[in-house]
Amino acid sequence: MMLGWLLIILLVGGVLAWWGERWGPSVPRWIAVMALGLDMALVLGWVVVPFAQGSLSSEALWMAEWHSPWIPRFGIHLHLALDGLSLLLILLTFLLGISAVVASWTEIQRKIGFFHFNILWVLAGVVGVFLAIDLFFFFVWWEVMLVPMYLLISIWGHERRAYAAMKFFLFTQAGSLFMLIAIVALTMIHFEQTQIVTFDFLQLKETSLTVEQEMWLLLGFFLAFAVKLPAVLLHPWLPDAHTEAPTGGSVILAGLMLKTGGYGLLRFALPLFPHAAESIATAGMTLGVIGILFGSVMAFAQTDLKRLVAYTNISHLGFVLLGIFAMNAYAYQGAVMQMIAHGISTSALFILVGALQERMRTRDIRRMGGLWSVVPKHGGFSLFFAMASLGLPGLANFIGEFLVLLGVFRVNIILTVFAVLGIIGAAIYSLFFIKGTFHGPNTEGWTIPDLGPRHVALLGVMIVFQVGLGLYPQPVFQAADPFIQTLPAPAPSSPPPLTWVP
């Protein structure tokens, strides 16, 4: 039931925040922070601490579980379960959720209550996605994420918010339609075989499928997750949505919602359809590599700061896709690490860029320059996270990228070479970002206030996480390991012997 409480607190907190606006503008903010903090404390107290003390074994299938019938006639259950992977991701959710609220503290001055209602409901959707294990229930949370995010973009967004929100909605909705079809089809196939109607993941996993069925069903799931991730070709919603969303929305969008795509692939698509996944592995990896290179080139071409950061997401999430379809332990761990690390680094970049926009009223990089002497703290933080984003060793992103590369190298050397080139692409856009904003002459004579203590504290915490995970990532690996053991891992072929020297 504890898992249920996590969701209830967020949902009720959202309603309270909406209602609480009448007592003052900062009441909804505090309610949101407290709801998230309470959730975090619950998870820490009930799962993390016992786990660290050893009284909670990570070897069991689930660390915590909640099961209750919902629509028994169709075999639909309120089934939530938590394992290492979900634990990592919901902790990230609470951290970034608090960041999103704190980062919007001064930015949002309109309909404050409703804003925080939406934030908390999106987060509830995200947490539900990370916890639900009944496919129908999962789908419900998947959709719960969508509408509040649409509202966040279309009400508090920037200039082209209506367009961006509609685009976001259509893309993700179209994707999830395919997933719904695949879910229902899977249930029907299972019913034909066993005469039991169920949406439970563990039971559906036992369904025996023909090669073709498996392929089509995987495709349905893959489309939904690939839109969210986003894989290149299905990405055009992302730059618009990220650019137009308010800072808090961008943080949640980039830091968390993109991760639901990677999570879905790991949690459902691969275990349900291992053979089909194996046969499209090369295609998936290629898509990932194209995303890495494409995203980095596109990021460099942008003049809108938020758009620049948005395209870096495509590049970084390319590594996640690459790692997932490399299908071995190193790459899986790398993908998980990359999801967490990228969540932190990209959120920080969005917060920094958002703060810059709030102060300068522009996102045009051509109008900036020489801001280092004006806002040294801002510059220092930006430099740090630009370095994190280009994969500087010692920071968390590097661990993720390196492990992915390590895993892919055993499977496909040529793709690895191209993926490594993406690291240069990352360096190019990161340096371009720093040079364009903080270095060079301050031609327009900007004088803007530096980051306040709230931002400094927030970003400081994020730096601690980046460095901590960069130098001691072992807890993440340990937490994710039991789950990763269960993932399909085709026998690693030893690298082909090189014989070009006589």
Partner 1 sequence: MLSWIWLVPVVPFFGFLILSLFGGFLSRRMVAVTGAGSISVSTVLGGLVAARLIMEKAGEVPMAFHQVWWTWVGISRLRVQIGFHLDAVSTVMMVVVTFVALLIHLYSIDYMEEDEGYSRFFAYMNLFVASMLVLVLADNFLLLLLGWEGVGMCSYLLIGFWYREPANGLAAQKAFLMTRLADTAFILGILMIFSHLETLQIQEALRRAVVTWPHGSSAAVTVAALFLIGAIGKSAQIPLQTWLPDAMAGPTPVSALIHAATMVTAGVYLIARMHELFELAPVVQMTVGIIGGLTLLLSAMSALAQQDAKRILAYSTISQIGYMFLALGVGAVSAALFHFMTHAFFKALLFLVVGAVSMRLNHERNIMKMGGLRHDLPLAFWTFLIGAAALAGFPLTAGFFSKDWILWEVWSQESGSVWLSGSIWLWGMGMLGVFLTALYIFRAFFFIFYGDQTTQPDRKTPSWALSISLIVLAGFSLMGGWVEWPATFGNVALFSGFIGTAIPVHRASAHVFIEELLIQALSVGLVLFGIFSAYLLFLRHPGLVEAVVGTTPGKELRRAALRGWGFTRLYNWLIVQPFLKTVRVSKHDPVDRLYTRLMVNPYLWMAQINKDDFLNRFYDLLVTVNRACYLAVRRVQNGHLRWYARIMGAGAVVMMGMVIFL
Residues at the contact surface with partner 1, assessed by CB under 8 A: 167, 232-233, 235-236, 239, 297-298, 300-302, 329-330, 333, 370, 372-373, 376, 380, 383, 387, 392-394, 399, 402-403, 405-406, 409-410, 416-417, 420-421, 423-424, 427-428, 431, 435, 438-442, 471-474, 477, 481, 495, 497-501
Mapping DSSP to helix (H, G, I), strand (E, B) and coil, where does residue 230 land? coil
CB of 495 to partner 1, least distance (A): 5
CB of 383 to partner 1, least distance (A): 8
Q: Which amino acid is at 82?
A: L
Beta bridge partners, 81, equal 65
Q: How far is CA 82 from the centre of its chain?
A: 18
- Note whether 249 and 149 are within 8 A (CB): yes
Closer residue to partner 1 in complex, CB, 105/163: 163
Closer residue to partner 1 in complex, CB, 111/410: 410
- Note whether 186 and 203 are within 8 A (CB): no
CB of 432 to partner 1, least distance (A): 8
Cα–Cα distance measured from residue 110 to residue 89, given in angstroms and rounded to the nearest whole number: 31
Closer residue to partner 1 in complex, CB, 8/417: 417
Q: Which two tokens stand for residue 147?
A: 């509408």
CB of 441 to partner 1, least distance (A): 5
- Note whether 263 and 340 are within 8 A (CB): no
- Note whether 484 and 333 are within 8 A (CB): yes
Closer residue to partner 1 in complex, CB, 297/360: 297
CB of 231 to partner 1, least distance (A): 11
Closer residue to partner 1 in complex, CB, 141/429: 429
- Note whether 311 and 299 are within 8 A (CB): yes
How far is CA 200 from each of CA 10, 57, 196, 267, 398, rounded to the nearest angstrom? 24, 24, 11, 13, 37
For 119-157, b/e burial (b = at least 16 CB within 10 A) is: bbbbbbbbbbbbbbbbbbbbbbbbebbbebbbbbbbbbb
Cα–Cα distance measured from residue 270 to residue 190, given in angstroms and rounded to the nearest whole number: 18
CB of 171 to partner 1, least distance (A): 8
CB of 323 to partner 1, least distance (A): 12
The radius of gyration of the chain from alpha carbons, rounded to an integer in Å, stands at 22
Closer residue to partner 1 in complex, CB, 114/429: 429
Closer residue to partner 1 in complex, CB, 313/333: 333
Cα–Cα distance measured from residue 372 to residue 434, given in angstroms and rounded to the nearest whole number: 10
Closer residue to partner 1 in complex, CB, 185/427: 427
Cα–Cα distance measured from residue 269 to residue 277, given in angstroms and rounded to the nearest whole number: 8
Closer residue to partner 1 in complex, CB, 205/410: 410
Residue 206 burial (CB count, 10 A): 9
Q: Which two tokens stand for residue 288?
A: 């990932």
CB of 54 to partner 1, least distance (A): 18
Closer residue to partner 1 in complex, CB, 181/431: 431
Closer residue to partner 1 in complex, CB, 24/460: 460
Beta bridge partners, 65, equal 81
Cα–Cα distance measured from residue 30 to residue 98, given in angstroms and rounded to the nearest whole number: 10
Apex CA 169: angle with CA 168 and CA 172, to 5°?
80
CB of 403 to partner 1, least distance (A): 7
CB of 462 to partner 1, least distance (A): 16
Closer residue to partner 1 in complex, CB, 140/421: 421
Helix-strand-coil split of the chain, %, nearest 5: 75, 5, 20
CB of 470 to partner 1, least distance (A): 9
CB of 255 to partner 1, least distance (A): 22
The torsion angles phi and psi of 360, rounded to 5 degrees, stand at: -100, -15
